[in-house]
């Protein structure tokens, strides 16, 4: 014997039950994308800093390297960025440390950081 109305509406009820799981999955995937993007930005910033630092005179190297590393970073990542190194002779290295944002860059950051490292041989001008 069939009930009146049958199974009508069952798919809607199941979808409502799965909605929190779908939203949670999307949030976790988005957060993973932000972590990966932060790693990409840190590595690129370190590369840019070293590239500029190797061509700069030794006395100005640290400032030029830091400025070049921070130049192309988006504003949300630039605020908490730390650039170290850049003042060596011979083999110049730079480390860029960025905070990882939570869901939306510029609002809240995780206590964890990502680091990009780059190095290049100093250019000798003759």
In a domain, 14, yes or no: yes
In a domain, 3, yes or no: no
pLDDT tens, position by position, 15-74:
888 889 999 999 999 999 988 998 999 999 998 888 888 887 777 777 888 888 888 888
- Compute the distance between CA of residue 97 and CA of residue 112 in angstroms, rounded to an integer: 10
Helix (H, G, I), strand (E, B) or coil at 32: helix
In a domain, 26, yes or no: yes
Domain that holds residue 64: 10-121
In a domain, 5, yes or no: no
In a domain, 36, yes or no: yes
pLDDT tens, position by position, 90-102:
788 889 998 888 8
If one counts the domains in the chain, the total is 1
pTM: 0.78
- Compute the distance between CA of residue 112 and CA of residue 92 in angstroms, rounded to an integer: 26
Residue 71 token pair? 């130049």
């Amino acid at each position: 014997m069939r009930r009146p109305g049958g199974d009508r509406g069952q798919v809607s009820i199941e979808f409502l039950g799965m909605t929190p799981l779908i939203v949670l999955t999307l949030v976790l995937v988005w957060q993973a994308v932000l972590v990966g993007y932060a790693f990409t930005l840190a590595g690129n910033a370190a590369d840019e800093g070293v590239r500029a630092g190797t061509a700069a005179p030794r006395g100005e190297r640290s400032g030029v390297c830091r400025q070049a590393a921070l130049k192309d970073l988006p504003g949300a990542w630039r605020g908490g960025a730390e650039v170290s190194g850049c003042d060596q002779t011979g083999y110049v290295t730079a480390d860029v440390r960025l905070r990882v944002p939570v869901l939306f860059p510029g609002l809240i950051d995780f206590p964890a950081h990502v680091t990009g490292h780059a190095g290049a041989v100093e250019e000798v001008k003759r």
